[in-house]
Structure 1
């Protein structure tokens, strides 16, 4: 994994860029087509999580990872609600935190880990409507971990899970009617895990700036920056 560190950072930067592009649709510009690259963000963040777990295993670092996710899920909720005045769900970090508990339990066959995973799955099932990407979004990091070192065609499994996590009736209905953006979004969900795995396996010689703990602050910060842009453009 050491030679893939640069590729992993590139994956994280790419996921962040895809997320920002997706949220640009809410700034006031007529850029609905950005919905398609925006579908890459969440599965790539899940793949980055799986890559970290595959590298470090169920070590103490995964607990620190969970702590940072929980901290910034709370910090991010206020700017998230400023940017989306009436959001249907919480911000994405609680989904990732629950997904981390589930994926980590797969690596740790202990009673404590399995109980935490069951608790995370129960929360995901009970509050699926309040979680961004719902119950299947919580399962996606585990699906990524299961195929991480397998041949590329196994990436279709997390692709299907990603599709299930994006099961908005409007999206499927629009795709059925032939809407190009909706069809592109569905294809992006299906093939995002495969594209991410290709990047991790082929871009090892690229060394972008390392994403360290300070990068957690980029999530709430980007909401505030885009909110300022929206106010200026209004």
Structure 2
């Protein structure tokens, strides 16, 4: 770190944000490889990075476009909701004992909450209030629950803060990840998983600040399709290994 020890994010599209999204996707795939029938429990640890980094990407997009026209944000929400529906069947085919919805409804509600905090218009505030209420009432049906919905907002709140403020979204991330179950299990994987949740926001913010010169492929709207597709590909892999 240098200068004022803050972690700002640029206003123009930069490779760091695309890199964050690709790394989040990779973390998610690693996490879900645990379900292909091999003994890969250790992948739980890098898998804990996926959700906070997707939340950070949402916060980064909101931060960068905070004064832009709202149409883009409605489109963003629309794509999340559309692929929430499209992904549910592949998700349940692959995670056979799933007791929550797929992750996209959580991210969509989180987007509404963070945007309501940022924009302050009556419509945005009203939608944020509805989203928080849905998150509270249906917490057990949502992947990462109530605190998962709050995580994009927690990320947004620390963008212009000193680096140590990342402890706030770190704690929210821990709360979203069944920390009681992990603590009670006491295994090394569980403890490392908790640590990964705690440090994921800071790691993501550092990446956004310092990886400005990277230029991975831009992750555009087609990337939404990677979510349901990866379930189908991993399901095919499980059939091959069976």
Quote the Cα distance in structure 1 between the aligned partners of 2:168 and 2:179: 19
| Correspondence for 2:193 | 185
1:5-39, Cα deviation, whole Å (9 max, x unpaired) = 10000000000000000000000111100000000
Alignment of 1:45 onto 2:54? yes
Judge conservation of contact 1:7–1:204 (CA < 8 Å) in 2: yes
| Correspondence for 2:110 | 99
| Correspondence for 1:82 | 93
Judge conservation of contact 2:28–2:47 (CA < 8 Å) in 1: yes
Structure 2 residue aligned with 1:209, among 209, 212, 217? Answer: 217
| Correspondence for 2:83 | 72
Quote the Cα distance in structure 2 between the aligned partners of 1:2 and 1:122: 32
Deviation at 1:168, TM superposition (A): 4.8
Alignment of 1:14 onto 2:40? no
| Correspondence for 1:141 | 152
1:91-113, Cα deviation, whole Å (9 max, x unpaired) = 00000000000000111112221
CA RMSD of aligned residues (A): 1.1
Specify which structure has the higher proportion of helix: 1
1:121-178, Cα deviation, whole Å (9 max, x unpaired) = 1100000000000000000000000001211101000000000001254312113xxx
Quote the Cα distance in structure 2 between the aligned partners of 1:5 and 1:89: 34
Judge conservation of contact 1:3–1:204 (CA < 8 Å) in 2: no
Q: Which runs of 4+ in 1 moved over 3 A?
A: none
TM-score by length of 1: 0.96
Unpaired segments ≥5 residues, structure 2: 1-9
Judge conservation of contact 2:135–2:145 (CA < 8 Å) in 1: yes
Alignment of 1:194 onto 2:205? no
Deviation at 1:4, TM superposition (A): 6.0
